[in-house]
Amino acid sequence: MMHFTNIYNAIKNASEKPLETHEILSGYSGEKLLATLMNLSRYNLDDDKVYLEVGVFQGLSLLSVANSIGNNVAFGIDNFAFFDKDGKNESIVHSRIDKLNLKNVRLINQDYEDALENLGEYIGDKKVGVFFIDGPHDYRSQLMCLLLIKPYLSDDAVIIIDDSNYRHVRQANRDFLQTNNDYKLFFEAYTPSHPDNMSKVELEQAKHGWWNGVNVIVRDGHHQLQQKFPSTFRNRTLYENEHILHTAKYPTLNLKLSKYSRFLGNIIRIFPKYASMEKGKYPASNTYSEDLCEINFTQDL
């Protein structure tokens, strides 16, 4: 149980102490989340265990961790296909590595699925002691990240899943936990909405806090902990609708039309049949996290 108490303390301390951020680093993450990644990595890595993240962007989380773990190694996977209009993110990461004089960062410029399927080519005999998921947020990718990393995790690994405010991200976490009882939900923290939909005051709090929500899952091969699940929505219609999208004549056109969903929704709702159609609170990035707890350690230690 000592291991889990140490994980508890790493997260608790991260949520209590203000984080001193490095002036070279910027990106998308809450300070408490960053401090949690750094504390867990300082605690759980050694010569045989590395840090790995999916979703590097310009390196805020990867380099913050690398800067705090001495000679232990931090790997980051990103194909730099998103949030990178000018194609500069990879070079920004490299120039920040130089400025911070970091020798322990390994960048894998690949799609996450290709990289995770062949992870042994990069990490060799080492295991992943801390795994941070912050890449593509569709349900399948979230679940695949959890499934593909399994053979590479150390026995005492910790997994941190960013953007767990999103209902479908929580669903992927739940589905993984439901089918893999060696893994337990350890901690969850949520904010009321995606940062894009926050007021200025809320945004400031999210920057100092948990950004777009987080779930922490621990490996528990000896079944010492209780199984708990993040809150989800029993109705499966949206997942079932995926079949219609996959088999449509113009599947990507449907996606483009979703840009106009507010406008189309307003018209369609004139018809009684559609009046009670489910409606998100915001034009985009609905998380359905407004009624969730702020923070929750799920285990009695």
Ligand X SMILES: C[S@@+](CC[C@H](N)C(=O)[O-])C[C@H]1O[C@@H](n2cnc3c(N)ncnc32)[C@H](O)[C@@H]1O
Going residue by residue from 239 to 278, which x/- string records binding to ligand X, judged by CB under 6 A? Answer: ----------------------------------------
**Which of residues 79, 171, 286, 289 is near ligand X by CB under 6 A?**
79
User: Under the criterion CB under 6 A, does residue 57 sit at the interface with ligand X?
Assistant: yes
Regarding 61 and contact with ligand X (CB under 6 A), the answer is yes
Which residue in the set 75, 97, 129, 135 belongs to the binding site for ligand X (CB under 6 A)? 135
Q: How far is the CB of 96 from ligand X (least distance, A)?
A: 11
Rounded CA-CA distance 218/157 in Å is 6
Question: With binding defined as CB under 6 A, does residue 83 bind ligand X?
Answer: yes
Q: Which residue is nearest to ligand X (CB)?
A: 27
Tell me the closest approach of the beta carbon of residue 45 to ligand X, in angstroms: 18
Is residue 116 near ligand X by the rule CB under 6 A?
no
Choosing from 4, 51, 75, 112, the residue that interacts with ligand X (CB under 6 A) is 112
Considering only residues 24 to 53 of the shown chain, the ones binding ligand X according to CB under 6 A are 27-29
Which parts of this chain interact with ligand X (CB under 6 A)?
27-29, 55-57, 60-61, 77-83, 111-112, 134-136
